[in-house]
Amino acid sequence: MKKRLIVAITGASGTIYGVRILEALKNLNVESHLVMSDSAKLTMAAETDYKSAQIEGLADFVHSAKNIGASISSGSFHTMGMVIAPCSIRTLSEIATGVTSSLVSRAADVILKERRRLVLLVRETPLHAGHLRSMTQVTEYGAIVMPPVPAFYAKPATLDEMVNHTVGRCLDLFDLDNNMVKRWDGMGGEK
């Protein structure tokens, strides 16, 4: 069976993470199922030069965020899991409380109930106690909260390098080999 991954893009800042994940999945020959919120489309227009159609063109399958009956809303639809990049606080909160008002939160809920991998690139700062409690809740349910924090040990020279490193580390969580990460090999002097 071909590997499949659900990719959701929500309205938080950092839509480039979702775009870069879709590009990487295409290169890795992983079937991608994209769902973008309406807020994601607005944020993407403010942050990038991409049009929605271009992003949708990167995915193998595109699902409307309003289509609660889509294939990805069922546990019988087999996937490796789901990544939400970026993940808004609203989406995080819906997942934490089991509210499924859109296909994004419904698909995430299904991933958790099926005990598959759910990775949330939560993109917000600073955080208040409610945000932290929601992160704790989803972690207790089995999700991985992975804020897109730059790894300065990799000595990134460009924004692209920082985005790629984060995306590569995200793909690592799904055991997808990639060359996007500058791997740590120690401080030198090791024998």
CATH number at residue 151: 3.40.50.1950
3-state secondary structure of 112: helix
Task: Kindly state whether residue 94 falls inside one of the protein's structural domains.
Answer: yes
Residue carrying the six token digits 């409690």: 133
pLDDT band at 182 (very low <50, low <70, confident <90, very high): confident
pLDDT of 154 reads 87
Task: Kindly state whether residue 184 falls inside one of the protein's structural domains.
Answer: no
Q: Is the pLDDT of residue 191 over 80?
A: no
Task: Kindly state whether residue 114 falls inside one of the protein's structural domains.
Answer: yes
Predicted model pTM: 0.95
Q: What is the 3-state secondary structure (H, E, C) of 16-41?
A: HHHHHHHHHHHHCCCEEEEEECHHHH
Q: 7-54 pLDDT, tens per residue?
A: 999 999 999 999 999 999 999 999 999 999 999 999 999 999 999 999
Task: Kindly state whether residue 30 falls inside one of the protein's structural domains.
Answer: yes
CA separation for the pair 165, 170 (Å, rounded): 9
Q: Which residue range(s) make up the domain with 165?
A: 4-172
pLDDT of 187 reads 79
Count: domains in the chain: 1
Task: Kindly state whether residue 168 falls inside one of the protein's structural domains.
Answer: yes
Q: Which of 9, 144, 6, 163 is nearest to 73 (CA)?
A: 6
Task: Kindly state whether residue 144 falls inside one of the protein's structural domains.
Answer: yes
pLDDT of 186 reads 81
pLDDT of 38 reads 95
pLDDT band at 85 (very low <50, low <70, confident <90, very high): very high
Task: Kindly state whether residue 147 falls inside one of the protein's structural domains.
Answer: yes
Task: Kindly state whether residue 180 falls inside one of the protein's structural domains.
Answer: no
